[in-house]
Amino acid sequence: MAGPKGIAGALKLAERAKDQRGGNEKQRDHYDRSAPDALGLWHDAYLESLAARNYSASTVEHRRHTLKLFFTWAAERDLTRASQITRPILETFQRWLWRYQKPNGQRMGWSTQRKRLGTLKDFFRWLTRQNVILHNPASELELPRPEKRLPQEVLSLSEVEKLLSIPDVSDPLGVRDRAMLELFYSTGLRRTELCRLELSDVNTERRTLHVRLGKGKKDRVVPVGARAVAWLERYLKEVRLRLCLDTRTPALFLTGYGDAFNPDVLSRMVSAWLNPPAVAWAREARHDGHLHRSQHQAASRSSRPLSSFGASIRTRKTASARHAERVIFRRGSKLSDSLHSFSR
């Protein structure tokens, strides 16, 4: 029988001990590390070198995942040593990537393929510099050509309102979820950035957010729309204290366990919101909502120059003078872009 939902379920979760909580345990790899040039042996040293060079934890984890994919593929072909890897083998792996299908049946995007192969090029370049191998087999590996696509469709105001109204705000957790969606829509934060927000990063009087260690480990100040601030204040006043188990917890948005959100948990939440037929249109969204959101944000902000908020702004000009005057924010992932990635 299903347990209680909403805030009642969250309070029930808070009673669990840490060893009884959900989550996936980290799986140990089974790489062969016996040979001096074993791929698994230098896998660990390569990731340590990235951390020592101040690469972000997300970048290190992404490259760990890419190397795991390649090492698993290579091990199935009895390729466990760096000296066994040649350019034809890497080109075979590239063709395999092109044919690879994800669990949902879709193929890997071109940009994802470029990132995967780019990681391999960097890994083998590093191995060459460490004198593990005499020459770099990936030096002449050609990456797929990057795509430059235009938005396929733009969400209308009614569609956006329908999406934002999915959380049940009669329940405290619905207020929390609505505040997160409004913040996504108003600021264009990445999901990881939203999960990392702390109480001290919010300034409701100035209507700004201080995003710390964003993409490229860069800080920035982001303006927030008035409606998002209103939902945020309601969440802080009515909900957060009920979820907080330790007053020293700095995270802005809390789960039923009283901890900060994991980005993957946030993805599953949004995917669940996209399931009802009433919002099936959102599954077809592809890099949309740019122009509409910029207009919505501009209308909700003060007349001060936006550069005073510290946000980086780019403008796009089209053949129409009407479009030339519109400001499009390019910092951070757009809400609908994030929803597309959640629904994949």
Specify the pTM. Answer: 0.65
Label residue 106 by pLDDT band (50, 70, 90): confident
- Tell whether 208 and 61 lie within a shared domain: no
pLDDT for 164 equals: 87
CB 184 within 8 A of CB 168: no
User: Could you tell me the CATH number of the domain that includes residue 216?
Assistant: 1.10.443.10
CB 342 within 8 A of CB 298: no
pLDDT for 140 equals: 92
Label residue 326 by pLDDT band (50, 70, 90): very low
User: Could you tell me the CATH number of the domain that includes residue 108?
Assistant: 1.10.150.130
- E strands, 259-312, are none
Q: Is residue 6 part of a domain?
A: no
Residue 329 tokens read as 């924010």
- What domain count does the chain have? 2
DSSP 17-52: -GGGS--PPPPPP-----STTBHHHHHHHHHHHHHH
Which one is predicted more confidently, 42 or 10? Answer: 42
DSSP 111-163: HHHHHHHHHHHHHHHHHHHTTSSSS-TTTTPPPPPPP----S----HHHHHHH
Give per-residue pLDDT as tens, 246-304. 888 899 999 888 888 888 888 888 777 766 544 554 444 433 433 344 334 433 443 33
pLDDT for 295 equals: 39
CB 215 within 8 A of CB 324: no
User: Can you give the residue range of the structural domain that contains 278?
Assistant: 157-343
Q: Would you tell me how many other CB atoms lie within 10 Å of the CB of residue 127?
A: 22
Pairing label, strands 327-328, 314-315 = antiparallel
Q: Is residue 187 part of a domain?
A: yes
Q: Would you tell me how many other CB atoms lie within 10 Å of the CB of residue 108?
A: 15
Residue 272 tokens read as 């669940």
- Tell whether 73 and 216 lie within a shared domain: no
Give per-residue pLDDT as tens, 175-209. 999 999 999 889 988 888 998 999 999 999 999 99
- Tell whether 186 and 335 lie within a shared domain: yes
- Tell whether 121 and 231 lie within a shared domain: no
- Tell whether 103 and 228 lie within a shared domain: no
Q: Would you tell me how many other CB atoms lie within 10 Å of the CB of residue 197?
A: 22
Distances (CA, A) of 306 to 194, 282, 297: 21, 30, 11
- Tell whether 172 and 209 lie within a shared domain: yes
Residue 87 tokens read as 């350019």
Q: Is residue 78 part of a domain?
A: yes
Start-to-end CA span in the chain (Å): 29
- Segment 303-314 mean pLDDT: 38
